[in-house]
Structure 1
Amino acid sequence: MDSLQSMRLFTRVVELGSFSAAAREEDMSQPTMSKIIAALERSLGVRLLERTTTSLTPTEEGKRFYERSKRVIEEYVDAVADAQGRTQRLAGTLIVNAPVGLGELHLNGLFLEFLAQYPEIEIELILNDRVVDLVEEGVDVAIRLGSVLPPNVVARQIASSPRVLVASPDYIERNPKVRRPEDLVKHEYLRFAGVSFGAQMEFSRAAEKVVVEVGGRYRVNSSLALRQCFLAGAGLGTAGAWLVQDLIDTGALVRLLPKWQMASQPVHLVYPSRRYQPLRTRTLLQFLAARLPLLPGLYAPAA
């Protein structure tokens, strides 16, 4: 049996969790399926599966081989479809990774809209704020804020979000006026926890640049919690406009020092570096590239 077919059968054994289930799907006997996988292991010189009387579990090498095999098979199917001039079917599962705050505030609606357009696609949205290894964790597409990106990926900037200084009307009324960046030293500055930057803020206006050392007694590693702190009048702080633009628009928060700029926060679409992608992945990338820059506080990057 050729290597590609052996890889395909191995992925089905892993996905179905047994030789018997994969054998029934392929209309072959369980011993034949077991022999094929054993022959694949011998040819690789690696044990891919741990076998017991009740279960099959991929080894660490088996997990990595599964992820790569799955992509090879997808690429092959796509290449055949392309060579034969056929349109690949828009179906299957997409695993997407995104930051928690952006996901809860904005992405749920976008993905529900995408699913309504493509009823045979499934999406598994994983929200966390850490930088994940896309291949290791089987992620098809990630949306990342900022310039810290996973290794060995394709990263395409599709939007940016200006950083803005905000406070609640109540906080502004109770505290000294903020007329220049230097005035921030008199204020309780709320910021994101667990990052090495943030205690110093750089503002620019035309050719003028000001660096301010800010201080505050509270830091939190959740953008949504930071948003709540601003609303509660616990202090002032800076955030990507994607996090607070809707509150600025309703007057719940006020933008301070609007004539001063800070470095914008880039937004990237990130995906594993491979030549062929399933049509569902390409379609989602096109959808997100078109729709993300239209969200509140996000803008298409300058040409």
Structure 2
Amino acid sequence: MDTLRALAAFVHSVELGSLSGAARAMDTTQPTVSKLVAGLEQSLGVRLLRRAPAGLSLTDEGQRFVEHARRMLDAHDEAVADLQQRSTQPRGLLRVSAPVALGQCRLNAMAGEFLATYPDIALELVLDDRFIHPLEERIDVSLRLGGPLPPDLVARHLGTWPRVLVASPAYLAARGRPRQPVDLLAHDYLRYAAGDDGVLLQGPDGPVNVPVHSRYRVNNAVAMLDSVLAGAGISLQPTWMVAGLLAEGRLARVLPRYTGPAQEAHLLYAARPYLPQRVRVLVEFLSERVARLPGKAKSAP
């Protein structure tokens, strides 16, 4: 039995929820995956998976074994990467996760450039505003904007981007320009659906919390920005999204002496003695490109 292939079949079946999904990931057939998993179970003397019409589920033994299997596969990848490091062209599949807006607005273009530079690498970009833990969902690199940083991962800081209040020139011409934070109460304020009422701003006299109420909320940052551009109201936006629009005059700063909570960008990936070459080149590529996004706050001297 090819133990490594059997381990991969088992782990893929668990992560993708079906033998057919594992077969597609491994570029083989479902009967082959079923045979590999059955052979692994036979060699271990335990049942790892329950097979039912509703899908696959782990047995107690399978639940205990799956993390060991992942580590064994990772150890194999690290050993191969150590041998191949700097001696061959980077190759293989990379899975990258990122917030939806960052992926739509910035990472798609970066992905095209990366793939052109490394023709033997395949890239899967997973866009989701929830945090996807790399070790739990077989993600090679996760780009995170804000939020707590898991202690079991390497977190490379890429920079800080302020949030600023913006509106379209047409909206401000029709509704007037706020002169102080309390003036926001008389305006249409657009916000992210998951946020609380109120907006926290940092100004020359310290923090101020304005209890704005929003008639329109949306759970997609790109859709919110489109609404602001269309003249629907005022919104707090990260500078990496709006710096170009401000420079073009399509948006205007509102209360320019005030900013909202900044976004901290980090690249997260597993702590390994040897990063696979394909992961290493991606980390370096994204570190350079993301750090160059517009509107980045200057580092303290």
Aligned pair partner of 2:257 in 256, 259, 274:
259
Unaligned residue ranges in structure 2 (runs of 5+): 13-25
Pair 1:137–1:209, CA change in 2 (3 A): closer
Aligned equivalent of 2:40: 37
Aligned equivalent of 1:238: 236
Residue by residue over 1:133-173, the C-alpha shift from the partner in whole angstroms, topping out at 9 and shown as x without a partner, is: 22221111011111244563222211221111000111101
Q: For residue 280 of structure 2, what is the amino acid of its counterpart?
A: R
Aligned residues, how many? 280
Q: CA deviation at 1:174?
A: 1.4
Q: CA deviation at 1:176?
A: 3.3
> Could you tell me how far apart the structure 2 residues matched to 1:106 and 1:168 are?
22
Aligned equivalent of 1:204: 203
RMSD: 3.0
Residue aligned with 2:136, SS: coil
Q: CA deviation at 1:74?
A: 0.6
Q: CA deviation at 1:47?
A: 2.8
Pair 1:300–1:126, CA change in 2 (3 A): farther
Residue aligned with 1:11, SS: helix
Aligned pair partner of 2:3 in 3, 6, 22:
6
Pair 1:300–1:157, CA change in 2 (3 A): farther
Aligned equivalent of 1:147: 147
Percent sequence identity is: 37
| Residues 1-303 of structure 1 mapped to structure 2, 5 A cutoff | 6-11=3-8, 15=26, 37-38=40-41, 40-42=43-45, 46-49=46-49, 59=58, 61=63, 64-81=67-84, 87=87, 89-149=89-149, 152-196=152-196, 199-205=198-204, 207-298=205-296, 302=300
> Could you tell me how far apart the structure 2 residues matched to 1:38 and 1:265 are?
47
Residue by residue over 1:20-72, the C-alpha shift from the partner in whole angstroms, topping out at 9 and shown as x without a partner, is: 858xxxxxxx8xx7886245423xxx5335679xxx97846376555333212
Q: CA deviation at 1:80?
A: 4.2
Give the TM-score of the pair, scaled to structure 2. Answer: 0.81
Larger Rg: 1 or 2? 1
> Could you tell me how far apart the structure 2 residues matched to 1:155 and 1:96 are?
15
Pair 1:106–1:19, CA change in 2 (3 A): closer
Q: CA deviation at 1:273?
A: 3.1
